[in-house]
Amino acid sequence: MNILAFESSCDETAAAVVRDGRVLLSDCISSQVDIHRIYGGVVPEIASRKHIEAIYPLADQALSDAGITRADVDAIAVTYAPGLIGAVLVGVNFAKAAALALGVPLIPVHHIRGHIAANYLTHPELEPPFLCLVVSGGHTMLVDVKDYTEMEILGGTRDDAAGECFDKIARVLGMPYPGGAALDARGRTGDPNRYPLPRVRVDGNPLDLSFSGLKTAAINLIHNASQKGEQIEVEDLCAGVAQCVSNALTGRTELALRQTGRRTLATAGGVAANSRIRADMEAMAKKHGVRLCLPALRFCGDNGAMIGSQGYYEFLAGHTADMTLNAYATKSMIGEQI
């Protein structure tokens, strides 16, 4: 089954063709990052307009790269939530028009479910159940993936997502948006213990997280140093921030593995590209004899392939939509999807 999939929830327009949920036939991305960088973050109105310009040619490119024609498309999948509402709407409306024109089913896919499915493309033998740590710009949570479309959220951040924490600190350090990857690169050679940074602590659910304290502490440290005319050792601070975030994520993940008894662990989302987090997860999984699946770097950030993969399993579960499908800025990834 060939699924033509679309993703437009933030600042990447993406179209891909995925066969039977696992075989990637094409994967096209048009990034808007250079435009939003001028403003230090995503400007929603600009994002929507750029999606409109990019999506049609990208759909054609995805088909030609896959070596198929419109007649070979068996279904259309699309991110319908969550995201910037104007941006998601562009994808949803284009997908509705495409499904109507081609006379094929329309499959709505939750963005976070898509991120998790990126692992199916990287690890063809991976099947639920498994535990998944989702770490993106907007979400940080531990998900028990019981089946392809049946999931439970075990814990998550009470405030900022891990990516947001990285990006805000990177911005104050003068790194271009989105700063997560730059902060990762600068921290690789640094001393993570040079600066005192707070441990991530929360009361209540031991699987919950909070990153606003770490973010504020790091930003205060930078401002204090600049007020005193002192030089910040950027490499060391970046390494320290990455260590704090990674320690918190690794600790919660370890606990969730113990609680659920799962023996397979996956990670998902843009922040899953972080080198420190990948290394720490590998060490932790090895220590416990747990099988670890990390998404290939190209599938960590937003892409259409992950939507095509999850779309297949949503289709098998009977989750299709009609022309009344709407876009949602927020929506839980568990329970009824539309």
- What residue ranges bind ligand KG4 (CB under 6 A)? 10, 136-138, 163, 166-167, 178, 180-181, 184, 269-271, 273-274, 301-302
Least Cβ distance, residue 202 to Zn ion (angstroms): 24
Least Cβ distance, residue 14 to Zn ion (angstroms): 10
Give the DSSP per-residue string, 127-161.
-SSEEEEEE-SS-EEEEEEEETTEEEEEEEBSS--
Least Cβ distance, residue 89 to Zn ion (angstroms): 17
Least Cβ distance, residue 154 to ligand KG4 (angstroms): 19
Least Cβ distance, residue 1 to ligand KG4 (angstroms): 26
* Footprint of Zn ion on 256-315 (CB under 5 A): 302
Q: Side-chain half-sphere of 201: how many Cα atoms within 13 Å?
A: 4
Would you state the structure tokens that stand for residue 287, as one six-digit string?
């220590």
Least Cβ distance, residue 264 to ligand KG4 (angstroms): 21
Binding residues for Zn ion, total number by CB under 5 A: 2
Please name the helix (run of DSSP H) or strand (run of DSSP E) that holds residue 77, with its range, or none: strand 75-81
Side chain identity, residue 277:
I
User: Is residue 164 near Zn ion by the rule CB under 5 A?
Assistant: no
285 binds, among ligand KG4, Zn ion, none (CB under 5 to 8 A by kind): none
For residue 92, give every residue at least 6 positions away whose Cβ sits within 8 Å of its Cβ, in sequence order, or none. Answer: 78, 79, 80, 108, 325, 326, 327
CA distance 299 to 297: 5
- Rg (C-alpha) for the chain, rounded Å, is 20
Give the nearer residue to Zn ion in terms of CB position, either 184 or 302: 302
Give the nearer residue to ligand KG4 in terms of CB position, either 99 or 327: 327
Question: Could you tell me if 245 and 215 are in contact, meaning their C-beta atoms sit under 8 angstroms apart?
Answer: no
User: Is residue 27 near Zn ion by the rule CB under 5 A?
Assistant: no
CA distance 162 to 185: 16
Report cis status (omega within 30 of 0) of the bond before 108: no
* Footprint of Zn ion on 130-159 (CB under 5 A): 136
Sign, CA dihedral 170-329-115-26, equals: negative
Least Cβ distance, residue 86 to ligand KG4 (angstroms): 16
User: Is residue 32 near Zn ion by the rule CB under 5 A?
Assistant: no
108 binds, among Zn ion, ligand KG4, none (CB under 5 to 8 A by kind): none
Give the nearer residue to ligand KG4 in terms of CB position, either 25 or 183: 183
CA distance 248 to 138: 17
CA distance 11 to 330: 17
163 binds, among ligand KG4, Zn ion, none (CB under 5 to 8 A by kind): ligand KG4
Give the nearer residue to Zn ion in terms of CB position, either 187 or 295: 295
Give the nearer residue to ligand KG4 in terms of CB position, either 63 or 214: 214
299 binds, among Zn ion, ligand KG4, none (CB under 5 to 8 A by kind): none
User: Is residue 119 near Zn ion by the rule CB under 5 A?
Assistant: no
Residues making contact with Zn ion (CB under 5 A): 136, 302
